[in-house]
Amino acid sequence: MSAARIATVTPVAEDEATGKVAEIYADIRRTKGIAFVPNMWRVLATNADHLELVWSRLKAVMHPEATGRAAILTPREREIIALAVSATNGCAYCVNSHTAALRKLGMDVSTLGEVMAVVGLFNSTNAIADGYRIEPDVLPPLD
């Protein structure tokens, strides 16, 4: 790929977006309070319906205040989950994005280290539990 390629498809540039794509780009910038549209969304825009599906779901889950839903988890808890999942899957794009979001929320590198300590610990115990085929403990009813 040439230097300008950022994915296996050519993303839709912000100044080329029209119709539904342009509206969603504007909503992304407004909802997230950022001045540019991240690569993810410009790549998804190669299929406008898919862009709409992913954005509407992410907006509902991660920006509930923008959709009128009462949030239970805090923004920090939500981004911590996002980073834990992304680290476990080894997704570089996503790790970059969610680390930045946590830093923006005020998390310092020492706390980030604790997040990684927990992520590392349980990726370890997950493999061990599966590697021995350990049966789940029988626990008292949860509800």
Contacting its own copies within 24-63 (CB under 8 A): 38-40, 43-44, 46-47, 49-50, 53-54, 57-58, 60-62
Question: Considering the complex, what minimum distance in angstroms separates the CB of residue 97 from its own copies?
Answer: 7
Question: Considering the complex, what minimum distance in angstroms separates the CB of residue 11 from its own copies?
Answer: 8
- Residue whose CB is less far from its own copies, 17 or 86: 86
Residue 102: CB partners within 8 Å, gap ≥ 6? 76, 79, 80, 83, 112, 115
Give yes or no for residue 68 binding its own copies (CB under 8 A).
Answer: no
Piece of the chain touching its own copies by CB under 8 A; list 16-24, 25-33, 130-138: 130-138
Show the tokens assigned to 92.
């570089």
Show the tokens assigned to 81.
């989950």
**DSSP class per residue in 56-113:** HHHHHHH-GGGGTPPP-S-HHHHHHHHHHHHHHHT-HHHHHHHHHHHHHTT--HHHHH
- Residue whose CB is less far from its own copies, 15 or 113: 113
- Residue whose CB is less far from its own copies, 15 or 140: 140
Give yes or no for residue 103 binding its own copies (CB under 8 A).
Answer: yes
Give yes or no for residue 3 binding its own copies (CB under 8 A).
Answer: no
Q: Which of 78, 83, 113, 103 is nearest to 95 (CA)?
A: 83
